[in-house]
């Protein structure tokens, strides 16, 4: 798909919804100035891993030891970072913004370079990993965070997109903070090779990109990711009705990313990413259903119709799941790894081997009128 752009009054075409194969520096140089609405960059970490790491049971830790992450020296890494960040600044619209994610290995070097290039930091968001890899050697604290720098092209460029109200709604009516609790990408979302191993060592969770793209773009905007990997940015952009451009050096990753994006058939409207506004309705706490034995203490509630996760109902109307105890909403949010969850629309109870949404059971209870 081509998008027509006017650059210095010349019409130029930019291929969008496409993954470019090659070095991001060379490819970025072919893009017109001022043409991109948002950049999300997840560059090499330059981890400088010197030796293999093993778990206490002697199995090898599958860390980031890829060729693409290796640089001869910090100086080489900085030179590379300066070049790609300069190109990004050139292709980004004045109204556009950039997100760069990194760990303690690289984010301070990258942040320093960004400030030197004139970028203006709008937020440093902490991604708090709710399921981090333990520090097997016990030599320091478990490393459970990465940092995202969200920047405009300069201090005086203030016409950038920030969907404040949307994010507040997404966060259950509360203003969202710069600490995001999201798990590492695992389970069904994690792409595996035919050998069953992770297809990419640093695939990011879609929830992270969901927040980035929802908060800082509009529908049909162009989102560029110069380090595309498995294409998480493209997948989420497509689901949210945005356009994407990916750049990736490794052909193998491009195949994976293209297949992932092609398989997305259902696009999500913004309203379906957000809790619908509560209709005026008689308020019935879940505990009342337990008290009145519509749902029994000790029985399980199940997620969706496939029953893949279950939580036990406690006497006081809370749920117990793994080591977590909380309301139907809180436990639902933990399972979905989202900031909020409408537990009434999330949990199912089994009655005579048939699954009922607890919201429907509540309706029936209200109609029956007991205990109100």
Ligand X SMILES: C[S@@+](CC[C@H](N)C(=O)[O-])C[C@H]1O[C@@H](n2cnc3c(N)ncnc32)[C@H](O)[C@@H]1O
Q: Which residues form the interface with ligand X (CB under 6 A)?
A: 23-24, 42, 44, 68, 200, 202-204, 227, 229-230, 232, 247-250, 253
Report the 10 Å Cβ neighbour count for 150.
23
Placement of tokens 């980031």 in the chain? 64
At residue 327, the 3 state secondary structure works out as coil
Q: Which is nearer to ligand X, 176 or 199 (CB)?
A: 199
Residue 283 sits at the vertex; the CA angle it makes with 278 and 288, to the nearest 5 degrees, is: 135
When CB distances to ligand X are compared, the closest residue is 229
Instruction: List all residues 6 or more positions away from 74 whose beta carbon is below 8 Å from its beta carbon.
Output: 46, 109
**Minimum CB separation from ligand X for residue 97, in Å?**
17
Q: Which is nearer to ligand X, 227 or 365 (CB)?
A: 227
**Minimum CB separation from ligand X for residue 359, in Å?**
35
Q: Which is nearer to ligand X, 165 or 251 (CB)?
A: 251
**Minimum CB separation from ligand X for residue 108, in Å?**
17
Residues 331 and 311 sit within 8 Å (Cβ to Cβ): yes
Q: Which is nearer to ligand X, 153 or 200 (CB)?
A: 200
Burial of 169 (0-12, 13-18, 19+ CB in 10 A): buried
DSSP 95-123: EEEEEEEE-TTTHHHHHHHHHHTT-EEEE
**Minimum CB separation from ligand X for residue 82, in Å?**
13
**Minimum CB separation from ligand X for residue 267, in Å?**
20
Phi and psi for 302 in degrees, rounded to 5? -120, 155
Q: Which is nearer to ligand X, 92 or 247 (CB)?
A: 247
């Amino acid at each position: 798909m081509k998008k027509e752009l006017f650059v210095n009054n010349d019409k130029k075409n930019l291929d969008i919804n496409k993954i470019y194969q090659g070095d991001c520096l060379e490819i970025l140089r072919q893009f017109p100035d001022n043409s991109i609405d948002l950049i999300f960059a997840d560059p090499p970490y330059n981890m400088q891993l010197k030796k293999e790491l093993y778990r206490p049971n002697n199995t090898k830790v599958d860390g980031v030891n890829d060729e693409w992450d290796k640089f001869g020296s910090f100086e080489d890494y900085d030179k590379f970072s300066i070049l790609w960040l300069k190109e990004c600044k050139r292709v980004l619209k004045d109204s556009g913004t950039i997100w760069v994610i990194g760990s303690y290995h690289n984010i301070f070097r990258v942040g320093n370079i960004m400030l030197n290039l004139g970028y203006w930091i709008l937020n440093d968001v902490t991604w708090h990993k709710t399921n981090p890899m333990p520090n097997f050697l016990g030599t320091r604290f478990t490393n459970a965070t990465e940092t995202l720098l969200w920047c405009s092209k300069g201090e005086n460029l203030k016409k950038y997109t920030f969907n404040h109200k949307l994010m507040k709604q997404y966060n259950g009516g509360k203003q969202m903070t710069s600490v995001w609790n999201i798990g590492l990408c695992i389970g069904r979302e994690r792409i595996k090779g035919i050998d069953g191993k992770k297809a990419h060592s640093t695939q990011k969770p879609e929830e992270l990109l969901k927040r980035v793209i929802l908060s800082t773009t509009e529908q049909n905007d162009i989102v560029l990711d110069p380090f595309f990997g498995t294409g998480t940015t493209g997948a989420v952009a497509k689901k949210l009705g945005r356009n994407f451009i990916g750049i990736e050096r490794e052909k193998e990753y491009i195949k994976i990313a293209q297949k992932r994006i092609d398989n997305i058939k259902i696009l999500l409207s913004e309203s379906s990413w957000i809790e619908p506004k509560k209709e005026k309705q008689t308020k019935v706490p879940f505990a009342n259903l337990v008290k009145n034995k519509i749902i029994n203490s000790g029985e399980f509630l199940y997620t969706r119709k496939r029953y893949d996760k279950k939580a036990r109902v406690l006497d006081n109307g809370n749920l117990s799941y793994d080591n977590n105890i909380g309301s139907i909403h809180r436990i639902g949010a933990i399972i979905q790894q989202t900031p909020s969850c409408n537990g009434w629309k999330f949990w199912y109870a089994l009655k005579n081997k048939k699954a009922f949404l607890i919201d429907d059971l509540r309706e029936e209870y209200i109609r029956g009128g007991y205990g109100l």
